[in-house]
Amino acid sequence: MTDVLTPVLTRNWADDRAWTREAYEAQGGYQALRMALDTVQREGGPDELIEQVKDAGLRGRGGAGFPTGMKWGFIPQDNPKPKYLVVNADESEPGTCKDIPLMMASPHTLVEGVIISCLAIRAETAFIYVRGEVLHVVRRLRAAAREAYEAGYLGENVLGTGKRVDLVIHAGAGAYICGEETALLDSLEGRRGQPRLRPPFPAVEGLYACPTVINNVESIASVPSIVSGGVPWFTGMGTEKSKGYTIYSLSGHVRRPGQYEAPLGITLRELLDLGGGMREGSEVKFWTPGGSSTPILSAEHLDVPLDYEAVAAAGSMLGTKALQVFDQTTSVVRCVLRWTEFYKHESCGKCTPCREGTWWMTQVLQRLDAGAGRDGDIELLLDLCDNILGRSFCALGDGATSPITSAIQYFRNEFEAGMRTPSWELFPPERSVAWASPVGDEAAEVTEGARA
Amino acid sequence: MSTEISSETVAELQELMARYPQPRSALLPMLHLLQAVEGHVTTDGIELCAELLDISAAEVSGVATFYTMYKKHPVGTHHVGVCTNTLCAVMGGDAIFDRLCTHLDVGNDETTADGAVTLERIECNAACDFAPVVMVNWEFFDQQTPDSAVELVDALRSGQDVVSPRGATVTSWREAERVLAGFEDGRVDEGPAAAGPSLVGLEIARDRAWSAPSAKGGEDS
């Protein structure tokens, strides 16, 4: 049996100065790169690396779960244009908080993954597009790239093999939409971050209209372990169609929020049990399996295996494995309103359903939150969602409907209560805060004192 | 408004352009650098970018107004962002933001009278396991309360040294913008690799002697 938790990417995070090349090499770092270079120079060549990642069944860890090796295979190698690798490090999906600690603690894991992935797809230039709002992570990435150049892992002659790989660390400037891969490409070209029409897909015409692979941080960071551990090792973890290990991010009203690295298929109940469950006096009311764009689930879903298939069968999506857990003190209407305000704020304005729809939905939800909902508001929300889902230009609009439709499905009575009673009367916010007890009166006192 | 942008800055902007296969890719870093130099995105800065990249000022302006990190008005010495996205808001972010507004006598995206602090509501900053989160010049300040946030901004206003629990000693918003633009500041080795919730799973695994299977010879446990 595989152990319940399987630290691979997180394994060195507690090491002294784990972010340095010296520390990374001391625990075996950059050995996978040497193995990959051997593979590339043998008969199978770079295609063998692509096959390894395909056979491992690695699926994109940024939300969509698309097979990484297949994405690499779409790059037309007979196209004479340069090929590019772009790492999507624009981690901004509400609830998602795995890539930032990874790049902070062990940026060389990602850099090694970048170099190997470039060898596989025959790219000579890679970019890490990291969101701008994480200063120390940007420092760690820049230093790691510099150290990798100094050691000859990056540059015009990678470890003397004649292979060239250059890496640019690129900080964004605050726009959730740039996590959408084609918007990211426009942003990386120095434009407003708005998504592009597909086809052509980025594999054919991506950055500068050249063949481009865009992968999430965790996906690329997983590549060295597949190369050094081997396909059977990786596929020995996880479930039938969701192979390997991954990082689950637990947050909210739980006793021990944090990063838990486990084989795909662990359940929320198991994760909660590991960390001592919910906070004192607290029970699960609703949770997101993979960020705010994945439909919420409820206490009846605690035993759903957290892999791509089972979460989909339960009516949601595994997404980024961002498990935001809310207890009985929390107003679902308040949460859905806040998420909707987020999508409204982040809508890029390119397509009408998303640009207009998120504003309309926010207005209706503000009424319901304030206890001033009108007859037919719930139906109006569902109708708006129906007109956005599948009709917006990219997944942002689709994602904006997820919290609304799923919350109405499971907690319709709270929306009905919003016709008469404000959310803050039904669920006093001071009972939900981190420093409060969900049952005691001391909570109210603390918050009152804080406001005085 | 017409501050002279120095030739050193122009040279650094050109250095950023040279890092990319196509120079326009440097526009976001260039705007970060100009914020470091000028304190916000100015008309002069926009026109300079347009000239260097051989695109129209309208195109540069279109980019500068799209991204929330670019500021059209001068920012205080320190930028304080309070996450009020759903999870942080519920965990206390709303109470923290309200308290700071009262304490600093400012609203969202406003600067204190002494010019020390600009307060802003921010969206999810990818640290939900540390909720509620406050960012100072884009450094993490984790697990905040209204009281701790007041202490934090008071320390910033009085010029005391403030250190991020998962980052470096806080400098200024402008110095941070320079790093984001692409110039290292020598503070990379400050702070831990990881802390608190980032290490929870790893600590539980170590306590119970759990690990991933060994690579060679299958499972080892």
Residue-wise DSSP of A52-75: HHHHHT-B-TTTT--BHHHHHHTS
A218 domain residue, yes or no:
yes
**Neighboring chain A residues of B203 at a CB cutoff of 8 Å:** 14
From chain B, the residues in CB contact with A97 under 8 A are 126-130
Q: pLDDT band for position B3 (50/70/90)? A: low
Distance CA A14, CA A105 (A): 8
From the number of C-beta atoms within 10 Å of its C-beta (0-12, 13-18, 19+), residue A204 rates as: middle
* A168: chain B residues, CB-CB within 8 Å: 19-20
- The CATH superfamily assigned to B78-170 is Glutaredoxin (3.40.30.10)
Do A111 and A187 belong together in one domain? yes
Which tens digit of pLDDT belongs to each residue from A91-127? 999 999 999 999 999 999 999 999 999 999 999 999 9
Give chain A's domain count. 3
pLDDT 10s digits, B197-221: 999 999 999 999 999 998 754 444 3
Q: What is the pLDDT of residue A43?
A: 80
Work out the minimum CA distance from B159 to partner chain A, whole angstroms: 20
Helices (H), A215-274: 217-229, 231-235, 268-274
- Cα→Cα distances A82→A78, A205, A408, B50, Å: 11, 11, 48, 27
Q: Which of A135, A216, A306, A432 to mutate to test the interface with B (most CBs of B within 10 A)?
A: A135
The tokens describing B157, both together, are 């206003």
Domain ranges for chain B, please list them: 7-64, 78-170
| Arithmetic mean of pLDDT, A386-405 | 97
One domain for residues A70 and A192 = yes
A117 touching B (Cβ < 8 Å): no
Choose among A284, A317, A147, A128: nearest CA to A216.
A128
CB distance A319 to A293 below 8 Å? yes
Question: Do both A322 and A372 map to the same domain?
Answer: no
Any CB–CB contact under 8 A between A5 and chain B? yes
Residues A193 and A339 in one domain: no
Question: Residues of chain B with pLDDT > 90: what percent?
Answer: 95
B147 touches chain A (CB under 8 A): yes
Q: What is the CATH number for A289?
A: 3.10.20.600
pLDDT of residue A448: 44
- CB-CB under 8 Å, A322 with B138: no
Is residue B88 within 8 Å of B59, Cβ to Cβ? no
How does pLDDT run across A341-386, given as a tens digit for each residue?
Answer: 999 999 999 999 999 999 999 999 999 999 999 999 999 999 999 9
Q: What is the dihedral of CA A250, A143, B30, A82, to 10 degrees?
A: -90
Q: Single out the residue in A202, A235, A268 at which a domain terminates.
A: A235
Q: Taking CB atoms and an 8 Å limit, are B87 and A93 in contact across chains?
A: no
pLDDT digits 0-9 by tens, A310-346: 999 999 999 999 999 999 999 999 999 999 999 999 9
Q: Which amino acid is at B64?
A: A
Contacts of A343 in chain B (CB under 8 A): none
Domain membership of residue A225 (yes or no) is yes
Taking alpha carbons only, the member of A22, A75, A9, A48 closest to residue A227 is A48
**Is A15 domain-assigned?**
no
**A78 and A227 belong to one structural domain:** yes
CATH for B7-64? 1.10.10
Q: What is the pLDDT of residues A203-247, one digit of tens each?
A: 999 999 999 999 999 999 999 999 999 999 999 999 999 999 999
- Looking at the fold, whether A215 and A357 belong to one and the same domain comes out as no
The answer for B 57-76 residues in CB contact with A (under 8 A) is 62-63, 66-70
Q: Judging by DSSP bridges, how do beta strands A258-263 and A284-288 pair with one another? A: unpaired
Domain residue limits at A308 = 245-327
Tell me: do A251 and A350 sit in the same domain: no
A235, A263, A279 - which closes a domain: A235
Question: Both A177 and A307 in a single domain?
Answer: no
Q: For residue A292, what pLDDT is reported?
A: 97
Are residues A269 and A362 located together in one domain of the fold? no
B27 touching chain A per CB within 8 A: yes
Q: Are residues A381 and A293 in the same domain?
A: no
A450 domain residue, yes or no: no
Q: Of the residues A177, A203, A235, which one is the last residue of a structural domain?
A: A235
Q: Are residues A108 and A226 in the same domain?
A: yes
Which sign does the torsion angle of CA A112, A115, A121, A125 carry?
positive
pLDDT digits (tens, 9 = 90+) for A1-24: 799 999 999 999 999 999 999 999
Does residue A59 belong to the interface with chain B, where contact is any CB pair within 8 Å?
no
